[in-house]
Amino acid sequence: MPDADSLYRQQIAALYERSAFYREKLRAAGFADPAAVGGLAEIGRLPFTEKDELRASQAAHPPLGAHAAIDISQAARIYSTSGTSGAPLYIPLTRADVEQWREIGRKSYSRNGLAAGERVVTTYGAGPFVAGASLAAFEAIGCVHIPVGAGNTERLLSAIRKLAPEALACTPSYALHIAEVAASKGVSLSAVKRIIVGGEPGGGEEGFRRRLESAWRARVYEIMGIGDVAASLWGECAEQAGMHFSAEGVIHVELIDPETGKALEIRDGATGELVYTHLAREAAPLVRFRSRDHVRVWTSPCACGRSSLRVRCIGRTDDMLIVRGVNVFPSAVREIVARFQPRVTGAILIRPRRKGVKQDPPLPVLIEGDATLGEAIAGEIRATLLFTPEVRMVAAQSLPRSDYKVKLLDYSEAT
């Protein structure tokens, strides 16, 4: 296998040849040809790629956009994003791309010890979204895969009761919801030893994880991918010390300051936004793609013996609020609230008063649980996250639940 730098140079040359979007974008930034771009060591000079640019490119040059480096007839599969802001964005893969994703997924899902012959029940749909690509990972590992799809908790509980799977893969909020339903119906979940969660932050929040682990009496392992780049890019090992990178040599990772765009040194404890560059993608390679995922990184070797880069997700840069100059991630608020379990359920909802990122204190936070806890939780949030919340305690099970990604921000009362 060629080294990362040679792959990168080939990838850039292919983009100049086949992607009108990147040819124009890189030329406009002063790089006349691939030689001017140089190698991986100089990647920080190149402009970022934003998701909005991909949307605009696809709208102006349907069906795949000017950034794609193939004709649609060469695609083997075309996923689409959930399209929260309008039309879905199509993500094409060639046969080789599909194979590459499968191998990345196999690594990520097997990091925690999931092995051939183990039964794993999954709730991801094989629908339009990239999450469906993860399903191939279970076959690649050799698991007995039991797909039950999203939105059918009864079917899931039946599968757990009758087929006794050792593992469950779903979103963290759904895993908690299933545990609550199982408890209310007296269904035993004891067969499940591993819960592999992904698709949203939560699996990495300590309090939330403890709650999940005690509700299921199972170990929780986190997985993280990003549709435009690859499904299941990161997977946690049995040491539960962050998620290991699984695409070394085929995807290049950078860490940046999301405010300034400045590259940050990747060292133990550093935090910032992940930026990805494909080194060996055929259909729609991306250069310096801004993920909007805010993470903490570790480079020191893990106790499991692997030396690959590890991360924990702190939150989405997109979900971040700024309360009088302080960055607030909704998932971080949920993490503080979880410290008060079992007197809270762990469910929260932040209801900003104003539209947009900037908010004035106190920030309204709805929390399910014991009504007498309001002041104590507000104090803990103030002391840890350095902003003033307006805590409103609400009854257990009164906030929305989800069988996919739970919403922690609700702008319906914002003016």
Beta bridge partners of 298: 310
Q: Closest distance between Zn ion and the C-beta of residue 309, in Å?
A: 11
The yes or no reply on residue 159 touching Zn ion (CB under 5 A) is no
Measured from the CB atom, the residue of 242 and 346 that comes closer to Zn ion is 242
Q: Closest distance between Zn ion and the C-beta of residue 314, in Å?
A: 19
Q: What is the DSSP string of 40-92?
A: GGGGGGSPPB-HHHHHHHHHHSTTT-TT--S-GGG-SEEEE---TTSSPPEEE
Measured from the CB atom, the residue of 220 and 333 that comes closer to Zn ion is 220
The burial of 54, by beta-carbon neighbours within 10 Å (0-12 exposed, 13-18 middle, 19 or more buried), is given as buried
Report the C-alpha dihedral over residues 320, 256, 16, 82, rounded to 10 degrees.
-20
The yes or no reply on residue 98 touching Zn ion (CB under 5 A) is no
Count of residues interacting with Zn ion (CB under 5 A): 5
**Contact region for Zn ion (CB under 5 A) — 179-187, 233-241, 337-345, 375-383?**
233-241
256-265: which pairs have CB atoms within 8 A and are 24 or more residues apart?
256/290, 258/290, 258/292, 258/294, 258/317, 261/48, 263/44
Question: Which one of 69, 133, 136, 237 is in contact with Zn ion (CB under 5 A)?
Answer: 237
Tell me how far apart the alpha carbons of residues 107 and 111 are, in angstroms, rounded to a whole number: 6
Tell me how far apart the alpha carbons of residues 364 and 389 are, in angstroms, rounded to a whole number: 6
Measured from the CB atom, the residue of 270 and 304 that comes closer to Zn ion is 304
Q: Closest distance between Zn ion and the C-beta of residue 108, in Å?
A: 12
Measured from the CB atom, the residue of 266 and 304 that comes closer to Zn ion is 304
Measured from the CB atom, the residue of 76 and 304 that comes closer to Zn ion is 304
Amino acid (one-letter) located at 404? Y
Q: Closest distance between Zn ion and the C-beta of residue 237, in Å?
A: 3
The yes or no reply on residue 239 touching Zn ion (CB under 5 A) is yes
Q: Closest distance between Zn ion and the C-beta of residue 300, in Å?
A: 11
Here the tokens at position 289 are 């793609």
Q: Closest distance between Zn ion and the C-beta of residue 204, in Å?
A: 14
With beta carbons less than 8 A apart as the criterion, state whether 191 and 162 touch. no
Residues in contact with Zn ion, shown as a per-residue x/- string from 277 to 316 under the rule CB under 5 A: -------------------------x-x-x----------
Here the tokens at position 414 are 């914002």
- The answer to whether the Cα torsion of 252, 258, 264, 269 is positive or negative is negative
Site for Zn ion in 185-224 (CB under 5 A): none
Measured from the CB atom, the residue of 104 and 150 that comes closer to Zn ion is 104
Q: Closest distance between Zn ion and the C-beta of residue 4, in Å?
A: 21
Measured from the CB atom, the residue of 77 and 296 that comes closer to Zn ion is 296
The yes or no reply on residue 226 touching Zn ion (CB under 5 A) is no
Tell me how far apart the alpha carbons of residues 197 and 208 are, in angstroms, rounded to a whole number: 12
Binding site for Zn ion (CB under 5 A): 237, 239, 302, 304, 306
